[in-house]
C-alpha cells in the first residue's frame, strides 16, 4: 500500500473516530508522557530534557534504567554509551563514577555540553517536588539479575509507594521481569511494551490481564479495533512514540490512556484543540493523516 493511500485511510480513521468521540467519548484525561524527557528538544534521558518536559507540564516522565558495574541504577537507553556520550563501552561494564564522568549532552549540541548520565537516585531527588509521575522502563533485564528488587527498593526509599505519591508505572518488553517486580511491589502497576501484533490477540490479552495493568504498543500497531480489544480485557494502554504533531490526533480520538512522545508540547497542544473540537462536535478542515515512524524506540 503506497504512502498516499495509507495517509488517506488514516485521515478517514481520524474522522470516524473523532466523530464517534464527539458523540459520547470517555472524557478521562489522557496522559502526556515525555519520552526520555523532551527528547525532541534536548539530549535524551538528561536533566536538560526532563527539566524541559516538566516545564512543558508533561504528566509523566518516561525513562530507562539499567545497572552500572557497581550495582547502581542509571538512567540511559542504549546498552552502550557510544551513541549518547563521548565515551565507549557497555553500561554494565562501567561504574557509576565512570559513567557520570562522561559528557551526555555534546552529541546533541554544544549548548548541552556537560550534561551527565543520571543515577535513578539523582533523578528521583531532582523531581520529587514537581508532582510529575514516572513511567520507568527496565532495559534488558536478563543482563541485570536483581534489577527488579533494586528498583523496588529505590521507589520505596523515595516515598513513591506511599498513598498520595505521584503515579509510578513500570514497563518492560520482558514479561517475566514484570512478574518479578510485582513480587516486591504488587500494587505498582506494570505495562508490557510491544511491537508484536501477536500480543494484541484476544487469547494473549486475556493471559496478560492476569499480570499487567497496561499493554503499551508501538504506534504502528494501533487501530481502533486494537484499542477496543485491549479495553475489553480491562487493560489500559500508552502508545509510543509520537514524533509528529498530527500523530497525536488519532490517539486522542481513540482515547488511549497515555501518549508517549519526544515532543510533549505537540500532544498538549493537540489535546487542547481536540477537546475544543469535541465540545463543538466538529472537525477542523483537512486532517492530514498520520505518518508513522517505525523506529522501535
For the question of residue 234 being annotated catalytic, the response is: no
Backbone angles phi, psi at 44, to 5 degrees: -55, 145
* Cβ contact 84:59 at 8 Å: no
- Give me the CATH code for the 3-64+133-138+150-159+168-280 domain, please: 3.20.20.190
Of the listed 77, 158, 218, 234, which one is catalytic? 77
In which band, very low, low, confident or very high, does the pLDDT at 269 lie, cut at 50, 70 and 90? confident
Whose CA is closest to 36, among 144, 113, 108? 108
- For 286-296, what is each residue's pLDDT tens digit? 333 344 554 55
List all residues 6 or more positions away from 10 whose beta carbon is below 8 Å from its beta carbon.
250, 289, 290
What's the confidence (pLDDT) of residue 4? 43
C-alpha count within 13 angstroms, C-beta hemisphere, residue 206? 3
Whose CA is closest to 60, among 230, 259, 287? 259
* Cβ contact 118:73 at 8 Å: no
What's the confidence (pLDDT) of residue 278? 53
- For 225-240, what is each residue's pLDDT tens digit? 999 999 999 999 999 9
Q: Is 241 helix (H, G, I), strand (E, B) or coil?
A: strand
Calculate the average pLDDT of the chain.
Answer: 88
C-alpha to C-alpha distance for 152 and 258, rounded to whole angstroms: 23
C-alpha count within 13 angstroms, C-beta hemisphere, residue 292? 18
Cell (9 digits) for 133: 509521575
What's the confidence (pLDDT) of residue 49? 98
Q: What percent of the chain has pLDDT over 90?
A: 78
Beta strands in the chain (DSSP E): 31-35, 60-67, 73-75, 118-119, 133-138, 168-172, 190-194, 214-217, 238-242, 258-261
**What does the radius of gyration of the chain's CA atoms come to, in whole angstroms?**
19
C-alpha to C-alpha distance for 139 and 147, rounded to whole angstroms: 9
- Can you count the helices (H) and strands (E) in the chain? 10, 10
What's the confidence (pLDDT) of residue 222? 97
What's the confidence (pLDDT) of residue 12? 46
On the question of pLDDT at 11 being above 90, the answer is no
What's the confidence (pLDDT) of residue 201? 97
Q: What is residue 111's DSSP assignment?
A: G
In which band, very low, low, confident or very high, does the pLDDT at 172 lie, cut at 50, 70 and 90? very high
Whose CA is closest to 86, among 116, 118, 119? 116
Residues 165-174 have a mean pLDDT of 98
**Which range is least confidently modeled, 6-20, 83-97, 98-112, 131-145?**
6-20
What's the confidence (pLDDT) of residue 290? 43
What's the confidence (pLDDT) of residue 275? 56
Residues 138-147 have a mean pLDDT of 98
For the question of residue 158 being annotated catalytic, the response is: no
On the question of pLDDT at 2 being above 90, the answer is no
- For 24-36, what is each residue's pLDDT tens digit? 344 468 999 999 9
Amino acid at each position: 500500500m503506497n504512502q498516499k493511500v495509507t495517509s488517506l485511510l488514516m485521515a478517514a480513521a481520524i474522522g470516524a473516530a473523532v466523530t464517534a468521540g464527539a458523540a459520547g467519548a470517555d472524557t478521562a484525561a489522557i496522559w502526556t508522557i515525555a519520552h526520555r524527557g523532551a527528547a525532541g528538544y534536548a539530549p535524551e534521558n538528561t536533566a536538560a530534557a526532563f527539566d524541559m518536559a516538566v516545564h512543558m507540564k508533561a504528566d509523566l516522565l518516561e525513562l530507562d534504567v539499567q545497572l552500572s558495574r557497581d550495582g547502581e541504577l542509571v538512567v540511559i537507553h542504549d546498552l552502550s554509551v557510544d551513541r549518547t556520550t563521548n565515551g565507549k563501552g557497555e553500561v554494565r561494564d562501567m561504574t557509576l563514577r565512570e559513567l557520570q564522568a562522561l559528557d551526555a549532552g555534546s552529541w546533541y549540541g554544544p549548548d548541552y555540553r556537560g550534561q551527565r548520565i543520571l543515577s535513578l537516585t539523582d533523578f528521583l531527588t531532582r523531581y520529587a517536588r514537581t508532582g510529575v509521575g514516572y513511567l520507568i522502563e527496565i532495559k534488558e533485564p536478563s543482563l541485570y539479575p536483581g534489577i527488579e528488587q533494586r528498583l523496588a527498593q529505590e521507589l520505596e526509599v523515595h516515598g513513591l509507594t506511599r498513598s498520595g505519591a505521584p503515579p509510578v508505572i513500570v514497563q518492560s518488553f520482558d514479561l517475566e521481569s514484570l512478574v518479578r517486580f510485582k513480587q516486591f511491589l504488587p500494587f505498582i502497576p506494570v505495562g508490557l511494551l510491544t511491537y508484536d501484533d501477536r500480543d494484541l490477540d484476544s487469547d494473549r490479552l486475556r493471559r496478560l490481564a492476569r499480570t499487567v495493568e497496561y499493554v503499551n504498543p508501538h504506534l504502528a500497531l494501533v487501530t481502533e479495533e486494537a484499542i477496543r480489544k485491549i479495553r475489553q480485557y480491562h487493560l489500559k494502554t500508552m502508545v509510543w512514540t509520537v514524533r509528529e504533531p498530527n500523530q497525536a490526533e488519532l490517539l486522542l480520538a481513540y482515547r488511549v490512556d497515555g501518549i508517549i512522545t519526544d515532543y510533549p508540547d505537540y500532544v498538549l497542544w493537540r489535546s487542547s484543540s481536540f477537546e475544543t473540537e469535541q465540545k463543538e462536535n466538529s472537525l477542523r478542515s483537512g486532517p492530514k493523516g498520520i505518518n508513522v515512524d517505525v523506529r522501535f524506540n
